[in-house]
Amino acid sequence: MPSDPSHVVLQYALEWFIASHHNYAASMYHVVHLHWIAPNPETCKINFDGGRKSKAGLIRAGGLLRYSNGHWLKGFVINLGIGSILEAELLGIFWGLTLAWDASFRLLSLVNCCKLNIRANWQCSIKHVFREQNCAADALASMSFDFPFGFHLLDRAPPFLSELLATNASCVARPRQVVA
Q: What is the pLDDT of residues 90-146, one digit of tens each?
A: 888 899 999 999 999 988 887 764 433 344 455 666 777 788 888 888 888 888 888
User: Looking at the domain assignment, is residue 91 inside a domain?
Assistant: yes
d(CA 165, CA 177): 23
User: Looking at the domain assignment, is residue 120 inside a domain?
Assistant: yes
Q: How far is CA 19 from each of CA 16, 36, 102, 128, 141, rounded to the nearest angstrom?
A: 5, 22, 31, 11, 21
- What pLDDT was estimated at residue 6? 67
Domain with 92 in it: what CATH number? 3.30.420.10
Q: pTM score > 0.85 for this model?
A: no
* Residues 157/143, Cβ–Cβ less than 8 Å: no
Q: 76 lies in which domain range?
A: 41-179
User: Looking at the domain assignment, is residue 24 inside a domain?
Assistant: no
What three-state secondary structure class fits 86?
A: helix
d(CA 117, CA 173): 27
- Number of structural domains (the chain) is 1
